């Protein structure tokens, strides 16, 4: 690894891996080094499509590749733990797709392993690296809204998804909460921190995962966050943050916005942050910044924040009755 070039590996060849790979060339200094999959054919096809130099037919081979500095783990949720552990065992820095794992205990294990080995680890919550979101956080910290009183956010997909889809498969960490609800929860946490109370309700599929979920977070300050996620209807996928002095509206696609609007009593101001691609380049840039600086976690998505979010999602899952089969690492 040098100050100018970071050599990336991608573990997984699915949709999210392809999206990330599509944005990676937009990152200065990013080298598309290698891709790993459980089959060499899949890895080779992905490498050809996205311009990676090498393909590996196993996770272990990718983790052992001496020409890779950092691995983006892009498997389904239930494979995050063993995949990330394999990469850490190979001495690689890891950017692990959200949610980090299926539960708090597994996430804590990954954090402990990374810290013990002195390796960089970050959950790929790209929303927190987005320029518009970072500016929004700065404005709120500077008092643009006064004291924050409410956060509203929703994320829903149209569906329906058939019974064989990964979003309905408990063995793959299915359900609305882990795929979609993680964004509204992260937004509320970003603005208000850890809540004092958590109340939730969900409708479950025949397979036992949530497909329509609501979460209300209460805070010692008196603030409240109302959050929903759904696999059965496309909601606005928008968010608003209200304070004693004004309101910020995030448009549809609030998790990767290119703009937001600040409303105050006598003014309305539009903040615009246009970019090309899907917006995954910003988390890759943050990873590279940290690696060059020699830091083991990002201040935009520190380990403690990942652990707090996983604690909240464990609490919600326990309340609504969603349980996943144990994962072998």
The catalytic site residues sit at 98
What is the chain's Cα-based Rg? 19
Q: How would you class 138 by CB atoms within 10 Å of its CB: exposed for 0-12, middle for 13-18, buried for 19 or more? A: exposed
- The DSSP call for residue 321 is T
Is 321 exposed, middle or buried, given 0-12, 13-18 or 19+ CB atoms closer than 10 A?
exposed
Total residue length of the chain: 329
CA distance 271 to 105: 39
Please name which of 227, 230, 156, 221 lies closest in space to residue 185, comparing C-alpha atoms: 227
Kindly give the residue spans of alpha helices, DSSP state H, lying in the chain.
Answer: 15-23, 40-50, 59-64, 80-89, 104-117, 131-141, 176, 182-192, 281-293, 303-320
Measured distance CA(300)–CA(53) in Å, rounded: 30
247, 145 contact by CB (below 8 A): yes
Q: How far apart are CA 8 and CA 70, in angstroms?
A: 5
């Amino acid at each position: 690894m040098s100050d100018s070039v970071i050599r990336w590996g991608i573990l997984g060849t699915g949709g999210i891996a392809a999206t990330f790979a599509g944005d990676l060339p937009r990152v200065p200094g990013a080298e598309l080094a290698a891709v790993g999959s459980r089959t060499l054919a899949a890895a080779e096809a992905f490498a050809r499509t996205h311009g990676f130099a090498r393909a590996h037919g196993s996770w272990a081979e990718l983790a052992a590749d001496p020409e890779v500095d950092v691995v983006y783990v892009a498997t389904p949720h239930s494979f995050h733990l063993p995949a990330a552990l394999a990469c850490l065992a190979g001495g690689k820095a890891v950017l692990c797709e959200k949610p980090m794992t299926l539960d708090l205990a597994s996430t804590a294990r990954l954090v402990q392993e990374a810290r013990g080995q002195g390796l960089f680890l970050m959950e790929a919550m790209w929303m927190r690296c987005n320029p518009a979101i970072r500016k929004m956080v700065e404005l709120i910290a500077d008092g643009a809204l006064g004291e924050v009183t409410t956060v509203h956010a929703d994320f829903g997909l149209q569906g329906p998804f058939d019974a064989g889809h990964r979003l309905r498969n408990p063995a793959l960490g299915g359900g609305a909460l882990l795929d979609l609800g993680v964004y509204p929860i992260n937004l509320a946490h970003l603005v208000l921190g850890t809540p004092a109370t958590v109340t939730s309700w969900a409708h479950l599929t025949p397979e036992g995962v949530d497909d329509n979920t609501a979460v209300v977070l209460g805070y010692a300050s008196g603030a409240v966050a109302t959050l929903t996620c759904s696999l059965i209807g496309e909601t606005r996928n928008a968010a608003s943050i209200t304070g004693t002095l004004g309101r910020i509206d995030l448009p549809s696609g609030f998790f990767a916005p290119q703009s937001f609007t600040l409303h105050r009593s006598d003014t309305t101001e539009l903040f615009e942050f246009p970019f090309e691609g899907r917006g995954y380049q910003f988390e890759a840039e943050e990873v590279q910044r940290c690696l060059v600086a020699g830091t083991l976690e990002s201040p935009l998505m520190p380990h403690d924040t990942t652990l707090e979010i996983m604690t909240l999602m464990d609490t919600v899952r326990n309340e609504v009755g969603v349980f996943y089969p144990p994962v072998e690492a």
